[in-house]
């Protein structure tokens, strides 16, 4: 590994000799773990940006190279998308078995009641439509599509930032 980090500045490194899988897997795991933190969604889904940044940064540091912005964007998008998939599959498996049908009905009624009481009848009506069993599938599809778009866009942004910030040696092409 030490010979990988000792490179001349004028040397051009072939990207095909550097495996991106480890960096992408690590960044996907970071994205997935941070996806379970509710505040990451409040901060504009920052976990996707962090995942992309981690993928590009880890890759550049691991091989002691400078990567192009395109490579950073690609790695960031892939790692954030994989992290989103892990979270999308793992969260229901973790959270839903602990909620009984009675508790789910109470949560649903409480959400709708609070929406009406806070002067947001539109939100209550949307909640009523979503919680109908026929619309639950469409709601999940909508969440999946939104998560896919957000993870790809914000992961690309994070990868671009990572490629810009983590210049570690010769440029890889």
- Determine the pLDDT at residue 82: 98
DSSP states of the chain:
-HHHH---TT--B-GGGS--HHHHHHHHHHHHHHHT-HHHHHTTSHHHHHHHHHHHHHHHHHHT-B--HHHHHHHHHHHHHHHHHHHHHHHHHHHGGGS-HHHHHHHHHHHHHHHHHTT-HHHHHHHHHHHSHHHHHHHHHHHHHHHHHHHHHHHHHHHHHHHHH---SSBB-
What pLDDT does 43 receive? 87
pLDDT for the residue 138: 79
Task: Spell out the residues 6+ positions from residue 148 whose beta carbon is closer than 8 angstroms to its own.
Answer: 81, 84
> Alpha-carbon distance 82 to 51, whole Å?
10
Tell me, what's the pLDDT at 92?
79
pTM reported for the whole predicted model: 0.77
pLDDT at residue 142 in the model:
86
Query: Per residue of the chain (173 residues), what is the pLDDT tens digit?
Result: 444 555 555 666 777 778 899 999 999 999 999 998 888 888 888 999 999 999 999 999 998 888 999 999 999 999 999 999 999 999 878 776 677 778 877 888 888 888 888 888 888 888 777 776 666 677 788 889 999 999 999 999 999 999 999 987 777 77
């Amino acid at each position: 590994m030490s010979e990988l980090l000792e490179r001349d500045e004028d040397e051009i490194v072939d990207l095909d000799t550097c495996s991106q899988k480890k960096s992408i897997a690590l960044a996907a795991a970071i994205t997935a773990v941070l996806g379970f933190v509710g505040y990451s969604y409040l901060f504009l889904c920052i976990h996707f940006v962090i995942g992309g940044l981690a993928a590009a940064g880890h890759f550049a540091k691991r091989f002691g190279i400078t990567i192009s912005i395109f490579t950073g964007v690609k790695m960031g998008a892939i790692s954030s998308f994989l992290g989103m998939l892990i979270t999308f599959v793992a969260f229901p498996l973790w959270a839903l078995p602990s909620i009984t049908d009675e508790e789910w009905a109470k949560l649903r009624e409480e959400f709708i009641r609070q929406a009406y009481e806070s002067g947001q009848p539109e939100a209550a009506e949307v909640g009523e439509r979503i919680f109908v069993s026929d619309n639950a599938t469409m709601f999940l599809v909508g969440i999946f599509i939104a998560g896919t778009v957000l993870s790809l866009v914000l992961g690309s942004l994070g990868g671009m930032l990572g490629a810009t910030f983590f210049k570690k040696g010769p440029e890889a092409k």
